[in-house]
Structure 1
């Protein structure tokens, strides 16, 4: 039987990282390939207690259909946290609960993109966004990023020539690079963007995982009518519950709700109530502090590993938070070729290729430090450093 799949889905590849994780399933392999929060810090007992209380007090309600916008009290909690942490006055009606922030990307693509419409993405950029917008057959316009943020000269040229519908950014501890846009870099980007009709999507799944430095001001402060924010409990509570949210101006929110209703009616209500109960009964900031203390030690262990085991000529970022470190090899070394050499040495990473919309055989790679303890990081970095040395010697 021949099944005539749509052109839309036929153009979208499977997730590259999911395929790599299959290769790295060998228990002897030390994997820096995942982008997962550390399961050892999932608040299992607290979530179990919250779940029990939800079933005891609202069991039948929790198992019923719910409104598309999401639980009102949970949205009020999110709005309150934006006020406390970012100084943003967000109306509850401008918050929509989603099935993870990834659904927020899908909904934005659904309401804004026609075939061939332009999307500005960071280079390197989050592959989940590349995959989500590819479904809507977007035309990607990559803009290089540095420790300051986007290359605004390149961005201005794209805005003038291509008139893109969306600019997508992860300005805090970016995936995959780990960098955080400076305040000056954010000001420069906002100054360029405010003269256009392009909508900015500010994705911030890692923003509360800060180890050093000061929090930066949201684009929503600079461009309130032009910014959509995505958030998630996946990295600060647990990803399996799939509870995220999207914050958008009134006109955009109206269309998002329609798209949400067409997609799944509403985000699973039981998970919303469990998260709500967890937040009511527990100190979220204390929980986040526990996570960040450990992640910071793992980050430092990975940096020490680079300094101790890697040859000269290798560059890397020093993230102030998040879960990733980005490495740049000498330009004549392919990270994809290095991946196979590393697997032979029982260590895995993600080659940089899937983080670029149009470049292949790049010399960059992503390392995740959140899921490996300090001893494992030291061993894994020794193995990976050895693989890099061999590759450089055999050029």
Structure 2
């Protein structure tokens, strides 16, 4: 056989490369498709330029972090016992940290043992765990209206039916809550009773007692979120809803280190009634196994060696001055006919512009003046108020706040002049 023919026989036949058939990918889960992003996070990205004075984010003042004390705590736990602090840990959380939180909770008026607590990766994870163990798709959740945005996201991802409870200048309306609880048969009520996000309102002791009684009589769980309770500038502290008769066996108290130590630690706690402890531990195991061992150990060390109350006194004084600068300056910064509150603590002021103003539509013009706020509309589970605005006063100094209010005044005046 000729060599050429042999060569051809050894060479594989070349065929054109064919594109394989491509079926469409499966669709996203319905929970992902129906849940939107956080407008607050989007605004923070939009206003990340250093020249922007932002009243938008609930960002604690970074210059007030006890960076030296936290660094010393990390250095100690890493040098003292690195084999433990860099290892896997229990899902329930660091025993020393749980004991420290239990002691602080008890000292604030709610007797608590370490075994009642679960450490979470931020209090927002705590709410996610609670939704996981309590809510089936279609279950009804009652929320204050307006409500914390992340809670609305969490309940949407759980497939819950969210029903807004009307509020007034004093917070959640107990009579409306009772009526809705009877009609809607909810499984859970979510509430931030102290310095609420977004409104800064605080529920009175009388209303808290009414919430506890209604929850007991109507048969529902309460998720009491308390990230701001230790940031009181004036007035007497109000007891937790969990401490009122009727609420003791049905209230989950969510705590956070984000506002009292540092949000970057991502540490929170759940104080759980007995029936929910084991289910939430299992949900925690499935979510992330456990919260960072080294962060928990450092937080426990910090609490053992630092007087947190002294640190918080310094933070509260600074925040009080910043609140005063914001609230006192709104008289000239906002248009005539605007309304706003003066919270006794926390991080937020809730303002309402006059009829005809749309805070969302005005925001691009405001940002062009290197200042920002969060429109109130996204916080509503019911029909939104387009004129509502949330303003945070903690991130900037009083001088920067006054400069920002001057920019806001000019932006709003210019925007209205273009109409």
Q: What TM-score bracket applies, with the shorter chain setting the length?
A: over 0.9
The corresponding residue for 2:341 is 317
Separation in structure 2 between the aligned mates of residue 58 and residue 146 of structure 1, nearest angstrom: 52
**Alignment check: 8 A CA contact 1:178 1:323 kept:** yes
CA distance in 2 between counterparts of 1:89 and 1:275 reads 21
Q: CA separation in 2, counterparts of 1:78 and 1:145?
A: 31
Q: What corresponds to 1:26 in structure 2?
A: 49
Q: CA deviation at 1:58?
A: 1.1
Structure 1: distance between partners of 2:413 and 2:212? 42
Aligned to 1:288: 312
Contact 2:211-2:241 within 8 A present in 1 as well:
no
| Alignment-derived partner of residue 178 in structure 2 | 156
Q: Kindly indicate whether the alpha-carbon contact (under 8 Å) linking 1:172 and 1:207 is maintained by their aligned counterparts in 2.
A: yes
Which residue of the partner structure matches residue 8 of structure 1?
Answer: 31
Deviations 1:144-184 (A, max 9, x none): 22333311222112111111111001111110101111112
Q: CA deviation at 1:243?
A: 0.9
1:247-280 Cα distance to aligned partner (Å, 9 max, x none): 0111111110111111111111110000011111
Q: Look up the SS of the partner of 2:231 in the other structure.
A: coil
Quick one: distance in 2 between partners of 1:341 and 1:48? Answer: 41
Deviation at 1:291, TM superposition (A): 0.7
Higher alpha-carbon Rg:
2
Moved more, 59-68 or 305-314: 305-314
Question: Structure 1 residues 393 and 182 mapped into 2: Cα distance closer, same or farther (>3 Å)?
Answer: farther
Match of 1:49 among 54, 67, 72: 72
Match of 1:261 among 274, 285, 291: 285
The 8 Å contact of residues 336 and 351 in structure 1, kept in 2 or not, is answered as yes
Does the 8 Å contact 2:142/2:162 carry over to 1? yes
1:242 to 2:269 alignment: no
**2:12: which partner in 1?**
none
Residue number in structure 2 paired with 1:366: 390
Which residue does 2:370 correspond to in 1? 346
**Alignment size in residue pairs:** 394
Trace 1:105-254 onto structure 2 (pairs within 5 A): 105-222=127-244, 223-254=247-278
Normalising by the residue count of structure 2, what TM-score does the alignment of the two structures yield?
Answer: 0.91
Aligned equivalents of 1:376 and 1:242: distance in 2? 28
1:76 and 2:93 aligned: no
CA separation in 2, counterparts of 1:52 and 1:29?
Answer: 35
Contact 1:333 1:391 survives alignment (8 Å): no
Question: Quick one: distance in 1 between partners of 2:170 and 2:384?
Answer: 25
Distance, in Å, in 2 between the alignment partners of 1:190 and 1:388 is 43
- Are the equivalent residues in 1 in contact too, given 2:55–2:392 (CA < 8 A)? yes
Structure 1 partner of 2:301: 277
TM superposition shift of 1:390: 4.6
Alpha-carbon distance in structure 2 between the residues aligned to 1:77 and 1:21: 34
Match status 1:381 vs 2:390:
no
Answer yes or no: is the 8 Å Cα contact 2:334–2:353 preserved in 1: no
1:17 alignment partner, one of 20, 40, 57: 40
Deviation at 1:383, TM superposition (A): 1.9
Contact 2:102–2:113 (CA<8 Å) still a contact in 1? yes
Deviation at 1:353, TM superposition (A): 1.7
Unaligned runs of 5+ in 1: none
Partners of 2:65 and 2:286 in 1: how far apart? 32
Which whole-Å deviations, capped at 9, do the CAs of 1:101-147 have from their partners, x for residues lacking one? 00011001100111111111111110011111111111111112233
Quote the Cα distance in structure 2 between the aligned partners of 1:310 and 1:147.
19
Structure 1, residues 40-73: CA drift from partner, whole Å, max 9, x if none? 1111111111111101111110111111100111
The aligned counterpart of 1:40 is 63
